[in-house]
Amino acid sequence: MVPAAVVWLSYGVSSSYVLADAIDKGKKAGEVPGPEATRRTRVTVAVVDTFVWQALASVAIPGFTINRVCAASLYVLGTATRWPLAARKWTTTALGLLVIPIIIHPIDRWARLPASGSFSLQMERSPGRQGVYPLCTEQSQQRQGWHSGLQR
């Protein structure tokens, strides 16, 4: 139903958001007062950690999930109904769009799992490193649900 170019464009837009957020977090990490010797590490940790988490939560997992929902629904509609192909494709597209609000929160939770063991969190836990990566501390707290309402 949707031309492949539009799908690839949507991935480009999502990836641009991921990159912009990672750069923003890196700039903020660089502005945190602290020893100059740790600045580069602090910036790198913030950029990489944000990029990995956002790439999973905003591009990879949603794209894969919606793709599989659409593929499965097209297959089921093809075997369970006698609808014309155009009707099956429109229904599949509608189901793909309708599933987005349903998958947002589970994907955020799942994307936090690999990130909860990320190197920024490991850096925070290293002896003598507490407080050296304040933005990472905030990000890991958000991953654990302290700011996002997951602890309700």
Which tops the pLDDT comparison, 107 or 125? 107
Instruction: Identify the band that residue 87 occupies on the pLDDT scale cut at 50, 70 and 90.
Output: very high
Structure-block tokens of residue 31:
């502005």
In a domain? residue 37: yes
**Is 75 inside a domain boundary?**
yes
Q: Which residue is listed with tokens 């947002």?
A: 104
Q: How confident is the model at residue 132 (pLDDT cuts 50, 70, 90)?
A: very low
User: Would residue 151 count as lying in a domain?
Assistant: no
Number of domains in the chain: 1
In which domain, by residue range, is 116 found? 4-143
Residue 70 has pLDDT above 60, yes or no: yes
Is residue 148 one of the residues assigned to a domain? Answer: no
Q: Give residue 28's identity as a one-letter amino acid code.
A: K
CA distance 101 to 5: 24
Which residue bears the tokens 């925070």?
Answer: 124
Residue 128 lies in a domain: yes
Residue 152 included in any domain: no
118, 52 Cβ separation under 8 angstroms: yes
3-state helix, strand, coil in the chain (%, to 5): 80, 0, 20
Q: What is the DSSP string of 97-131?
A: HHTHHHHHHHHHHHHHHHHTTSHHHHHHHSTT-TT
Note whether 11 and 59 are within 8 A (CB): yes
Kindly state whether residue 149 falls inside one of the protein's structural domains: no
HSE value, Cβ hemisphere, 13 Å, CA-based, for 97:
9
Give the model confidence (pLDDT) of 13-30 as tens digits: 999 999 999 999 999 999
- Mean pLDDT of all residues in 82-96: 96
Dist. CA 5–CA 139, nearest whole Å: 34
Distance CA 21, CA 31 (A): 15
pLDDT at 7 over 90: no
Q: Does residue 152 carry a pLDDT above 60?
A: no
Average pLDDT, the chain: 80
95 domain-assigned: yes
